[in-house]
């Protein structure tokens, strides 16, 4: 009896389970305007709460546990907001391969939705 197909099936199943429990990478890309820094401070279990100033056309990435919610205070100029940029209940199926890619623009925060293959506005700034 050939056990190779059973072994391959078991291997694929275990890889699927492991990848669903793996950390997520959450990236913010600053696409606000030339010479405009995005100031960010995020809170989540296991995440360094230090503040980051992301230069225009640069990004910053956090690795988060899939059981956490990553909440961030963001500001630029006189605009600010508070956003949950990662929540596994909401994002595990929207992000691609455990990677959530956010693009921050002057009108709000856009997330790349894997199923739609495009950026979609998720949050607007409170002006």
The verdict on residue 17 lying in a domain is no
The answer to whether the CB of 30 falls within 8 A of the CB of 48 is no
The verdict on residue 14 lying in a domain is no
Q: Which residues pair with 62 in a beta bridge?
A: 26
Q: Which residues pair with 72 in a beta bridge?
A: 42, 83
The verdict on residue 15 lying in a domain is no
Number of domains in the chain: 1
Q: What's the angle, vertex CA 39, arms to CA 37 and CA 42, rounded to 5?
A: 150
The whole domain housing 98 covers: 22-123
Alpha-carbon separation of residue 111 from 4, 46, 80, 82 (angstroms): 41, 23, 18, 16
Q: What is the CATH number of the domain that holds 49?
A: 2.60.40
Alpha-carbon distance 37 to 29, whole Å? 11
pLDDT single digits (tens) 43-85: 887 777 779 999 999 999 999 988 889 999 999 999 999 999 9
95 pLDDT exceeds 80? yes
């Amino acid at each position: 009896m050939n056990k190779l197909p059973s072994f391959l099936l078991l291997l694929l199943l275990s890889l699927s389970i492991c990848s669903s429990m793996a950390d997520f990478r959450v990236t913010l890309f600053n696409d606000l305007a030339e010479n405009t820094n995005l100031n960010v401070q995020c809170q989540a279990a296991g995440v360094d709460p230090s503040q980051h100033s992301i230069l225009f056309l640069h990004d910053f990435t956090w690795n988060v546990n899939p059981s956490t919610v990553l909440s961030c205070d963001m500001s630029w100029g006189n605009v600010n907001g508070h956003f949950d940029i990662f929540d596994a209940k909401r994002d595990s199926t929207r992000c691609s391969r455990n990677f959530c890619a956010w693009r921050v623009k002057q009108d709000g925060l856009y997330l790349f939705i894997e199923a739609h293959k495009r950026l979609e506005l998720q949050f607007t700034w409170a002006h």
